[in-house]
Amino acid sequence: MNINLEKIENYIKGQSEVFLLELGAFYPFGCAINKKEEVAPLGGYIEGDNPSILELIELLKNNITEKLDDGEYSVAAIAVNVMVKKGNVNIDAIEVSIFEKDKLCNKKYIEYEVKDRYVEFISN
């Protein structure tokens, strides 16, 4: 795995664990690798107490596309809390959408199980 993609996955797992242990779920969030090769958190503000998840994802995507085009980011990602179906069972997972300039968006699913004091991640 590319070192920047590894940095992004580690950041997403860490942030997701905090949200899942404290809140039990999370709104979509993002991160990017900036010009200094550092992970930068991404967020967006939409007025109201319960913004639409789709609106928030669109806001993040637009911001990412603009910053990739400007060369401010080399790669970016959006993490969304989802359920995936395996046979007849629903499994908790994080859908990670990876964005790179002039490339199609790639998706990865990281299954997880919340334990007492930590989150166990199972990458696919």
**pLDDT one-digit tens code per residue, 62-110:** 999 999 999 999 999 999 999 999 899 999 999 999 999 888 889 999 9
**In the structure, what pLDDT confidence band is assigned to residue 25 with cuts at 50, 70 and 90?**
confident
pLDDT at residue number 113: 94
Query: Does 29 score more than 90 pLDDT?
Result: yes
What pTM, to 2 d.p., does this model score? 0.90
pLDDT at residue number 69: 94
DSSP letter for each residue of 30-80? EEEEETTS-EEEE----SSSS--HHHHHHHHHHHHHHHHHTTSEEEEEEEE
